Amino acid sequence: MPKKKTIARLHLQSRLRSRLKQARLDAELSRAAVCRAIGISPSALTGAETGRIHLKAIDLFLLAELYGRPLAFFFSDDVELAAQDAPPEPDEPSGAGEPAEAPSSEEPAPVLLPEPSPAPRRRQRDRRLR
């Protein structure tokens, strides 16, 4: 028997996919740059932004870090949360007395995660002793 999707679940999925695309566009990143930075395929990112594919939690966490957004941004229906976490508009002053940084044409730096510890080695049986 197929799972019934609740209205709340459908609403959250709709909000997630629209906020994923909104955050990427606000960060002025291409799909290719995002995929290279977090290590997912372009079809996975496109699928997540259109709602055809569900991201793993770790991928969503990496996207939030890359876009500079809290995880709550992607799920909250609080409009103020979405507005306060948005990057400043270009015509707004960036700070008192601080020179504005020139936009960088470089790709974003990939999110670096610690290397996983190696799995313990299993002892191999000596087949000659059998």
Domain ranges of the chain: 7-86
- pTM strictly above 0.75: no
pLDDT of residue 106: 62
Q: For domain 7-86, give its CATH number from 1.10.260.40, 3.30.565.10, 3.30.70.150, 1.10.150.120.
A: 1.10.260.40
Nearest to 80 by CA among 89, 91, 72, 90: 72
Residue 25, Cβ neighbours under 10 Å: how many? Answer: 11
Instruction: Decide: residue 27, CB within 10 A, 0-12 exposed, 13-18 middle, 19+ buried.
Output: middle
Mean pLDDT estimate for the chain: 75
Q: Kindly report the backbone phi and psi dihedral angles of residue 96, in degrees, each rounded to the nearest multiple of 5, phi listed first.
A: -75, 115
pLDDT of residue 63: 95
Question: Average pLDDT for residues 2-24, to the nearest whole number?
Answer: 84
pLDDT of residue 1: 45
pLDDT of residue 75: 85
Q: How far is CA 122 from CA 94, 119, 127, in A?
A: 56, 9, 15
